[in-house]
Amino acid sequence: MGFIKNILGEPNIGNFKLSSGGNSGRQFSSQSSIKAMEPKVPFSDLEMAYKSDAITFNAINKSTQMIMAGGFKDFIHKKSNVVKKFKRFFERIGDVGNDITFEELLENIFRDQMIYGNSYVEVIFNEDDTKIVDLVIIDPKKIDYAKTSDGKIILDDNGKPIGYIFKLDYGTFATGDEIPEKYDRVIKREDNTIFLLSKRVCHFKLYTIGDKFYGLGLIEPAYKSGIYKKNIEKGQANSIYARGFSPLVAYVGNERRMATPKDIEGVLNKLVKLNYQQSDAFPDWVKIESIKLNETSMAQSALKDMRTDQVAALSAPQALVSGSGEATNRSTLSDQRILWEFTLKDIIKKTMAYFKKYILKPINDYNKYGGVPDIEWGELRAEDINITADKIIRLLTSKSSNITEEFRDDLEEDLRQLMNIKVSGRKQSKKKTLIEKEIKKKDEDF
């Protein structure tokens, strides 16, 4: 049931079972709790990096858009009835929990993984905990494993986390699961939090290292480079401001007149006013000069290196995410886009593996749909569509290609129409003539 949204009433933990006695299936290497390798950067800081850094923001969004452009196509199973049941379930997503579509759910899962390295989906059960009725995306900043007071993740006898602690917004109320008696005294609870059994939370992890309890996203590896870059950019902005209003210095007095403290104070007051007015007048014994500030190339070199670190971690072509028009030849950019596509395909593969095992399988187990389907994802096209078209057309028009001229023209026209490339009127007319000849020939044969 959806405890986070407090929708369906009191929980029933009858389906929750700890490992029974004996050694069958027990993971001997696990302890009752473990101090996991936590993310070095808090989720709130990763989110701020996403929202405040243009390169990070654009790279994450472009990667998500590329993945979703391929998009979910269909469920695949040998039994058509199984496919129909899963399609019906995901068409109704959002009816019980938050207002959200299936596409929005997938998009949020991909984006959260890239930003935080972790994405969480609440599995909502009916009132009796016998059937899964909906799915809800969870803010990663508000949920964590159930832990002891010294920060260790509490594990059951099989070495798996017993559940999660969800932090509610102030002023909201929800009833969570009852903490199993075995762990009631060791679990750490804070104000305005609820406990959720593991079966209610699907935890997606992008890249895992060490003990594998937390995922690693695309921002964290170059997070410090992003912070340093921001500090340098801030310093440069202040420097540019200073150069735009170059500091003025006044030489008061000359060989004919000795300046008094009152003269110096009067000239200084006039210099201050020059920040707000265009001109002023000074006597001939006062000389005004501006101080020139030299821009260091070291800062520019450091900025370039830090941007490169960011782009490398984000795995997206720099020319595309920076928008600065770096000198990148067409062939190099095409190679970068293909490598980017490999990264995105890997993210899709990992995510869909989690989705099948921890969402589709439980739905089938509880709802008795008769099987667990595979997921067909659309083809990504990171390579420029015009480059692809050129390659195909060069192949078709190659002299070594054993293809008739009519077939070449026909296929070239179809490919150009498919890729939204303008087709010449001559080739359209030629295809029409060929079709008319073929129809006439069939009529004569008949």
Q: Specify the DSSP element, H or E, that contains 132.
A: strand 132-138
User: Taking a C-beta distance cutoff of 8 angstroms, is the pair 430, 409 a contact?
Assistant: yes
- Closest by CA to 118, choosing from 209, 4, 223, 207, is 207
Residues in a beta bridge with 250: 288
Q: What is the pLDDT of residue 304?
A: 72
Task: Report the phi/psi class of residue 30: left, alpha or beta, with left for phi > 0 and alpha for psi in -120 to 50.
Answer: beta
Give residue 242's pLDDT: 55
Count Cα atoms within 13 angstroms, Cβ side, for 262: 0
The one-letter amino acid at 344: L
pLDDT at position 366 is 95
Confidence (pLDDT) at 210: 85
Average pLDDT along the chain, 446 residues, taken 10 residues at a time: 45 37 45 75 92 88 91 91 94 82 94 95 92 94 92 88 90 82 86 91 92 90 77 64 66 84 85 70 80 62 70 75 60 75 92 95 94 90 58 62 64 61 51 54 54
The rounded distance, in Å, linking the Cα atoms of 120 and 7 is 19
pLDDT of residue 445: 56
**What pLDDT shows up at residue 354?**
94
For residue 182, give Cα distances in angstroms to 7, 59, 155, 209. 28, 46, 11, 30
What's residue 362's pLDDT?
Answer: 95
**DSSP character string of 201-250:** EEEEESEE-TTSSSEE-SSGGGHHHHHHHHHHHHHHHHHHHHHHT--EEE
Torsion region of 325: left, alpha or beta (phi above 0 gives left; psi -120 to 50 gives alpha):
left
User: What is the pLDDT, as a whole number, of residue 258?
Assistant: 86
Output the pLDDT for position 298: 62
Long-range contacts of 96-101 (CB under 8 A, 24+ apart): 96/2, 96/7, 96/8, 96/124, 96/133, 96/134, 97/2, 97/5, 97/7, 97/122, 97/124, 97/134, 97/135, 97/136, 98/5, 98/136, 98/137, 100/136, 100/137
What's the confidence (pLDDT) of residue 109?
A: 96
398-443 pLDDT, tens digit each:
655 566 666 666 666 666 665 555 545 445 555 555 555 555 555 5
Give the pLDDT score at 21. 39
- How do 153-154 and 163-167 pair as beta strands? unpaired
